[in-house]
Amino acid sequence: MVERGHAQVKVLLVSAVASGQGKTTVTAALARALVKRGQRVRVFKCGPDFIDPMLLERASGAPVGSLDLWMVGLDQCRSQLAAMAPDTDVILIEGVMGLYDGNPSSADLARTFGFPVMAVIDASAMAQTAGALVHGLRDYGPVDMAGVIANRVASPGHATMVAASLRDIPLFATLPRQDKALPERHLGLVLPGEQADIDLLLDTLAMQLDFDEAAWAALRPSAIDLSAQAEPVAPLLAGKTIAIARDAAFAFLYPANLATLRALGATLIFFSPLANDAVPADADAVYLPGGYPELHAQALSDAAIWQQSIRAAHLAGLPILAECGGMMALAESLADQSGAEWPMAALLPGRVAMQKRLAGLGSQGWQTEYGVLRGHTFHYSTLATSHPVHAQTIKHPSGAAGESVYRAGSLTASYFHAYFPSCPAAVAALFSGSAV
């Protein structure tokens, strides 16, 4: 419903006391259940993330955007919501970590927009204490607590005890313990495209989500300002064709990054290094996003056509941007989780090695001459190189030194994942081969 320049949409920010409570599972189940009821559902992810949005897109059937008051920025958060709201019945926003974790936090986002919070609790090892936990989550901020979804509930009796403990906060829904959990690996969930039964699993979760129909009906809509418009982007890449690696090894792409490149006027074409595709001959620049090259190191090492073509593109001076996994594939070698070392394309001197301990995590910004290009880092590998550092990102909010950015000829490479809409002019410079 649209009234006086505002859309009235049911919005829920799905959060929890900590990671591991089941936020992604519950958000996916809720999205799929609402879609099956004929609702038009759009989902956002709070904070930097690539993998959860893939699952949420599969669950909802629509692309998933990012909302973050620092990386994305308030104005772009507003414009994204305004663009989605008129044709949407329900907006779900999956929070990041715990409700109050981070700066800015999921709670900050909820309070900024006046969105109600849906708390997910892992009820497997508690009953009446659930009430104390949820009341603390509500009152600490405070936030507008719409209700609770109790995950891993053992029985109807268990659900009754949890509901009674919540007092004035409704138990919105319950989800039972799962015989089969969503599979995970070192960077998070296994990608949906790698799971043959993912839709069956999502349908099962949706079916098992036990709604309180009265609580859902009582959920008040939120007013979303439709006047917020995204700032127009100058077509600084008009006439340029950018070749983008996209497959199971290079899957970490913000949809907003692709939209920004198109808004800058670029034509985008995709290719698969894993399939031993050559860099397309008509490319003016190459983008190698992050992903899981360590899981496909042998295939990438054996992909002679791909390696020869990226070396030729580099020799010809084509601008190449390689982020995290993209950079790993362009080092001299990559040692996988087993310790096996595989030759890579060798555009950047140095060797990459996987490790069990997290090597980098968190929001960061790159101060360029065009402004701050914001983004994040998340990796379990290290690069050993004597190559000089071109620039250094800055950690948010501490201001400490972050990831190194390397320049090797026309190649720009770093563990830093950039969120392109935060500074389109810097992005245009990178893909034009200009200094940043």
Cite the beta strand spans of 248-307 per DSSP E: 267-271, 285-288
Query: Alpha-carbon distance 68 to 45, whole Å?
Result: 8
In this structure, are residues 337 and 379 in contact, taking their beta carbons and an 8 Å threshold?
no
Q: What is the length of the chain?
A: 436
Cite the beta strand spans of 50-144 per DSSP E: 65-67, 90-94, 117-122
Q: What are residue 101's phi and psi, to 5 degrees?
A: -80, 140
Our measurement of the distance from residue 414's CA atom to the centroid of its chain's CA atoms, rounded to an integer in Å, reads 18
Q: Give 304's contacts (C-beta < 8 A, 6+ positions apart).
A: 276
Per-residue tokens: 37: 């009821």
Burial class (CB in 10 A: 0-12, 13-18, 19+), 145: buried
Q: Nearest Cα to 145, choosing from 107, 202, 113?
A: 107
Q: Look at residue 266 and give its three-state secondary structure.
A: coil
In this structure, are residues 405 and 387 in contact, taking their beta carbons and an 8 Å threshold?
no
CA distances from 377 to 35, 188, 371, 395, 403 (A): 33, 14, 19, 9, 8
**Where in the sequence numbering do the catalytic residues fall?**
324
Q: What are residue 92's phi and psi, to 5 degrees?
A: -110, 135
End-to-end CA distance of the chain: 45
Query: Alpha-carbon distance 262 to 242, whole Å?
Result: 10
Q: Look at residue 24 and give its three-state secondary structure.
A: helix
Query: Alpha-carbon distance 420 to 45, whole Å?
Result: 17
In this structure, are residues 44 and 25 in contact, taking their beta carbons and an 8 Å threshold?
no
